[in-house]
Amino acid sequence: MSGTLRILSLNMDGCTDIAFFCSYVCDVAPNLLALQNTSALLRSISAPDLAQKVNASGVNSGGSHSMAFMSWNFPLRQIQEYDLGDRSKCLVADVSVDKERFLFFNVCLKGNFFRRPGQIKKLLSPDLLGRYDMLLPTIVAGDFMDTLWISGHPQFQSRFQRISPAILRGTYPACCPILSRDRFYVIGGIEVNNVEIDNSARTRKNLTHLPLIMDISVHTGESAIRTEMKTRGKLDQALSSSSIFKCN
């Protein structure tokens, strides 16, 4: 089992304030950072230079530079960017922590609502989540661009455990968050110690999406999440009773 890791999912849509980014990331002090909508931010600074400003030891912004990973003292391997269609992207990394490993998917969906089923189908295809299904613990973070009349994507809800606060799940727009667009999902040996949405005055002022922060430990080889809540559907059949899920 790994020590506790802090993961930050940060959507920089429309934000080009490098000083805010550096100050915020240093205050949160994540071990891993998933960035979405970084195109505007990275026009004025390269991803490696931005990483250097926050003392990150690793960074990768894929080929499009529209999203990125940063890490602090943990190697990110086999990073690949996938096109999900209509400007939607997915960045995937194999993360090693102590003697543990997990897969980290950074997702940013865009475009016409009616193309969303096709984008989700690609994400769940054998090239992506279907390829790695249940082999390693997996975390999916990012912007799923849900609207008011969608209560989550059923394909995801049936296979992954959504991690979010019990109440006040809205992240968009940051000034008055009514849509739960930004999310964490997990499957496999992930112990979630805490999850929160940062609804502070400075995030509401500087961002269009509220950030998500999650503290976890990883149990490589365990293909389950044990939860006090009743799980359902395919997740029930896939999960064993040996791993742990806890959400404060």
CA 96 to chain centre: 17
pLDDT on residue 121: 87
CB 7 within 8 A of CB 31: yes
What pTM did the predictor assign?
0.86
Closest CA to 141 of 74, 68, 191: 68
Distance separating the N- and C-terminal Cα atoms of the chain: 20
Q: Decide if pLDDT at 202 tops 70.
A: yes
Residue type, 76: L
- Tens digits of residue pLDDT in 88-143: 999 999 999 888 899 999 999 998 878 888 888 899 888 898 875 557 899 999 99
pLDDT on residue 42: 95
pLDDT on residue 134: 56
Q: Out of 36-50, 54-68, 119-133, which region has the weakest mean confidence (pLDDT)?
A: 119-133
CB 145 within 8 A of CB 181: yes
CB 51 within 8 A of CB 70: yes
- The residue-averaged pLDDT of 213-228 equals 65
Owner of token pair 């790994």? 2
d(CA 150, CA 148): 6
H or E element that contains 71? strand 67-71
Owner of token pair 């000083």? 19
Q: What average pLDDT does the structure give for the chain?
A: 84
Strands 5-11 and 212-218 come out as antiparallel
Q: Domain spans of the chain?
A: 5-238
Q: Does domain 5-238 have CATH number 3.60.10.10?
A: yes
CA 120 to chain centre: 15
